[in-house]
Each structure stands twice: as structure tokens, then as C-alpha cells.
Amino acid sequence: MFVAGLVAAVLGIVLFHVALGRTLRANAADRIPMGGRTKTIPRGSIAMRAAGAGLIILGAGLMSVEGVLWAVMVVLVGPVAAIIAVGLHNQRVRRSEG
């Protein structure tokens, strides 16, 4: 179960971040609001993010058999990396504007 959970979680994180990368490229000159809609939403990115989030949760659930710490780590890795990526993107956009 642990290995299946690890595979599901890694696939989910990759899928989530591919969708995020597409969104960042589509909005290269615009800031991305935290928790809001972007000006341009690439086709399929919402479905990819949803599938990625589902796989992350599935992976965390399967890995929780070995311990809750693994589940918490998996659930936090994806969103923390996404927040950092969006923050860096917004900082780059702000510098180029001003």
C-alpha cells in the first residue's frame, strides 16, 4: 500500500505542477492572485489540477497506513511548492512592471 500511495502521490504532484506551469506560462505578464482566477486559464488545466489533487489525497491516504507523518508530508509538499512558485512568479512580474 505504501508504494502504491507513493506512486499516486508523486503522479498527483507532477500533474498538479504541470497544470500550474501551464497557467504561469499563459499569464507570463500578469500577476496570479492567491486563491483567485487568473486572466487566462489554459484549456484542461483545471481538470489536471483536480486530478492531481485527487491523486495527492489518494496517495496520502494509502501512505497513512505506515504513519500519519507521511500523509502530512505528502499533502503539504504540493501546495507549499505551488505557493512558492506563484510567489516567485508574482515577484518577477512586479519587478518587470516597475
User: 2-58: per-residue pLDDT in tens?
Assistant: 899 989 999 999 999 999 999 999 999 999 998 788 999 999 999 999 999 999 999
* Structural domain harbouring 48: 2-97
Contact criterion met (CB below 8 Å) for 32 and 89? yes
Confidence (pTM)? 0.85
Closest CA relative to residue 59, chosen from 42, 76, 47, 45? 76
Residue 40, classified by CB atoms within 10 Å of its CB into exposed (0-12), middle (13-18) or buried (19+), is middle
The total number of structural domains in the chain stands at 1
Q: Quick one: DSSP state of residue 21?
A: H
